Amino acid sequence: MIPFGLPGHDTDGNIGYHYQPEKARRILRENELSGTIVTISTTAEYVDLVKFVQSQWQAIGIDARIEVLPAATLRELRAHGKLECFRASWVADYPDAENYLSLFYSPNFTPSGPNYTHFKNEYFDRRYLEAMTETDFGKRASMYYIMDSIVMSEAPVVVLFYDEVLRFAHSWIKGLQGNPSNLLDLRNITIERNSNQVQNKKQAKEF
């Protein structure tokens, strides 16, 4: 759940699930869940994305059905835990993994907090509280990693994708970098133009 660039992110691919459709079909058969009906609630804006999810689930034996709702209705039902399955997204308010893990801290059950799935794991909750008081950066990152592994193991959510940002700049602009919050930070920017670039610019103006 923790995205690339934040402490606690799984850089080695050890956490979570991978694309294994045959394994998914086998698990459904073994637990007599083939043909299970799941309703995915979404807004009109994301119907195409949810249709893709629907097709993938139907391919392994889950009868996925789409419910299109007005945005306000979806928010209201989601806040009160009245949706079986829904599409949602999350953007961190600050560059710390805690902002993602707070989605699974049980005292944050909606509508009081952002735990929309009503996920509850006592060990996770204890580690979450410990991490909030840990001042050692490395130890806190290790705690985040453990909590992330718990969430991905129990899978209250299916992570579809992360947004990516690309920035284009002239070769003579140095120090422009990205950051976990996608803020435009110009504090380390330097401009390095050689004489040819300056001359070309002058000629262009004269022309």
Q: CA 43, CA 118: separation in Å to the nearest integer?
A: 21
CA-based nearest residue to 67, from 53, 49, 82, 86: 86
Architecture of domain 21-154: Roll (3.10)
Residues of the chain short of pLDDT 70, as ranges, are 195-207
Spell out the residues 6+ positions from residue 34 whose beta carbon is closer than 8 angstroms to its own.
25, 28, 61
Q: CA 124, CA 190: separation in Å to the nearest integer?
A: 44
Q: CA 90, CA 99: separation in Å to the nearest integer?
A: 9
pLDDT value of position 85: 96
pLDDT in tens, 86-112: 999 998 888 899 999 999 999 999 999
Q: CA 79, CA 73: separation in Å to the nearest integer?
A: 10
Please state the pTM of the whole predicted model. Answer: 0.81
pLDDT value of position 9: 92
Return the domain boundaries, the chain.
21-154, 173-206
Q: CA 53, CA 50: separation in Å to the nearest integer?
A: 5
pLDDT value of position 164: 81
SS3 label, residue 117: coil
Strand partners, 58: none
pLDDT value of position 33: 93
Q: CA 102, CA 204: separation in Å to the nearest integer?
A: 54
Instruction: Tokens for 160, please give them.
Output: 């579809």
Q: CA 108, CA 129: separation in Å to the nearest integer?
A: 12
pLDDT value of position 201: 59
Classify each residue of 43-71 as buried b or exposed e, where b means 16 or more C-beta atoms within 10 Å of its C-beta.
Answer: beebeeebeebbeebeebbbebeeeebee
